[in-house]
Structure 1
Amino acid sequence: ATSLRALLRSAWQEAQAQVEGSQWLDALRTLEYVLMLAKRVDSSGVQGLRSIGETLGQLALVHWKLSDQQQALTHVDSAIELLEALPPSHASDEAQAGLSLADRLAELRLFRDEVRSAPQLSLESLHKRALGRGGLSETEGLEAQSEGGGDVDE
């Protein structure tokens, strides 16, 4: 279990660095790995549940940055639900952990409200974002548009 905890800590630090560096796809993969590890290390203890909740919150942010509004909502709702279920006695352990549970929940609720209030992305805006991220080349995008019967501007 100790080596798993060390691996979890290392993967969490790597994910944080990727998020801070706006490396969203790398962060997504790393956070999914962190979530898997967190569930294996300690999914019944308070600290383990807090780790899982924090990871879900970070996954929500990454999905939001990748324009996946539905996954962002799913993860942030799960994070809030999990963190709200933690016992009040956990608050005394938070002083050394940094951000209090109440503050983290407030942040997550604000983020959830932001995601919910954002307009649903249209297919056109998703396509433009994919072009901007290198998801499709300009030519592939135009070919897909012309196959769909849409107008192609030269």
Structure 2
Amino acid sequence: MNKSQQIRVKVFGLIQYEKRLFVCEGYDSIKQQKYYRALGGSIEFGETSRAALAREFQEEIQAELTNIRYRGCLENIYIFEGKPGHEIVQVYECDFVEQKFYQLQELIFTELTYHHPQKALWVDISRCKSGELRLVPEQFLEFL
């Protein structure tokens, strides 16, 4: 089995505020489609999912989290950039410690894995539920 065929274990934080969801914007150039996902990332060996969530938010946007509540687990099998992917995702609901994050229009940051600028922003949850905006994994909608 090559590395691209491994199941990845991830953690994502759902942050909701005034009927909006804090997400990262992405783009699949093969599908020519924009998508949105909650912030988070891979859980490292020996690290709890909760600790990984805190680390990822600190690394990506220098944000501390509070009111961290476990919501569940989902399995995501997908195609991204023409390649199959498979991940097990631990989902937490949480809040930002600093109020400044709730006032942001958007935040540009560089994720360590991708080495190119990413955009985090608030999106209206109803636009995700209606299908106007593509939220991935799709099972996230069940947690909103």
In the superposition, the TM-score normalised over structure 2's length comes to 0.28
Greater percentage in strand: 2
Which structure exhibits the higher relative contact order, with contacts defined as CA atoms closer than 8 Å and separated by 6 or more residues? 2
Larger Rg over CA atoms: 1
Greater percentage in helix: 1
In the superposition, the TM-score normalised over structure 1's length comes to 0.27
